[in-house]
Amino acid sequence: MKITKLICAPGKTGFYFDDQKAIKQGAKNDGAFYEGTPVTPGFTSVRQAGEAISVIFVLENGAFAHGDCAAVQYSGAGGRDPLFLAENFIPIIEKHIAPLYVGKDITTFREMADLVDKGINPETGKIYHTAIRYGVTQACLDAVAKSKGKLMAQVIAEEYGTKISKNIIPIFSQSGDDRYLNADKMIMKAADVLPHALFNHVETKVGLKGEKIKEYIQWLRDRILKLRPSDSYNPVIHIDVYGTLGIVFDNDFETIANYVGELAEIAKPFHLRVEGPVDMGEKTAQIDALRIIRQKMEEKNIAAEIVADEWCNTLQDVIDFSVHKAGHMAQIKTPDLGGINNSIEAVLYCKEHEMGAYLGGTCNETNRSAEICAHIAMATSPVQYLAKPGMGVDEGYMIVYNEMSRILVVSR
């Protein structure tokens, strides 16, 4: 079967693009907006509407296969590609990507994914933007699945030698700034991992000595014990601190390890994960920092985990963080890795090298990318999968839970 046409449709994401650097430098919330001047190239405001591009393959039999190009909330930060705006990138897809596929046979997912994921933009001499590779490879997977009459998860399992999970993968739900009301929603839905909590500002959210995080963990622990639907509900508490512990504790890694240990004691009886404790500004220093913090935690028998995020953006980054044991878990932030073939390989690499695999992404994705990543999750069995898109809890949780539930019953 051939692909006869490629069509692009501009779209919206489930959240926003945020200028992380401006926020770290003190931009203040003003309702849903932020006050302040953007500092990251491409931004016209500190927060602006997220954009996506749906890439639609028209197949020879008249069927449609599609995926969504999307980029992370904090585009342009932590070594990532620049801001992804539909009007800037649709022409590139139509001019350079379409000829790679239109009129060509649908072969294997891995072969089709490589065309765009390893392709070079002739205008820049560089690989294509991560968002382009992300969305086009989703469409490739869908096209192969439709040509074979199979689930996307089944295609992945066949090509990568895996087995589809017999259970829904644990879902990690994120609260955004509404970390109290949204935590209640997560408890009500019995989310396996919660609440993310968006601790991205020292003075207003973390506390000058980390005291505000401690207060929140205590509140959340008590709230779960009070409201949990059954005694068997024992979620993991996973918070993202966006490198702010490095600011609070002046990158003193032993002090940071001790602080994580204090949080772990407060969180009991629930297990604790702390994502992004420091942001060292570049990859090598970040690997060293997370490696040392993990070592110190293990020396002190601290029963918690730290999660690599910033500067762990590509498949090679995930490999490098894993090799050096830089953290206990790596977030595989799917849009940052470009083609979804890389996310698949990243999960499998982590599992083979004693690194927790967190199949993540961003609130700034779409329902389509979330559903396709659910197929990756069910076919590769990471430790947890992010509920996405958005920060409203209910919508993202529904999308990923329901897609995994459908995969579960159809693939039996």
pTM beyond 0.85, yes or no: yes
Say if strands 384-386 and 171-172 run parallel, antiparallel, or are unpaired. Answer: parallel
Tokens linked to 198: 């968006």
Please state, in angstroms and rounded to a whole number, the distance separating the CA atoms of residues 276 and 137.
28
pLDDT in the model for residue 206: 97
Active site residue 333: yes
pLDDT in the model for residue 78: 67
Three-state secondary structure readout of 70-113 = CCCCCCCCCCCCCCCCHHHHHHHHHHHHHHHHCCCECCCHHHHH
Tokens linked to 89: 């990138």
Catalytic residue among 214, 333, 351, 388: 333
Q: Which residues of the chain have pLDDT under 70?
A: 78-79
> Longest C-alpha distance within the chain, in Å?
62
pLDDT in the model for residue 24: 77
pLDDT in the model for residue 20: 83
- Give, rounded to a whole angstrom, the gap between the first and last alpha carbons of the chain: 27
Alpha helices (H) in 211-273, listed in sequence order: 211-227, 244-248, 253-267
Cβ partners under 8 Å of residue 105, min gap 6: 1, 2
What mean pLDDT value characterizes the chain? 96
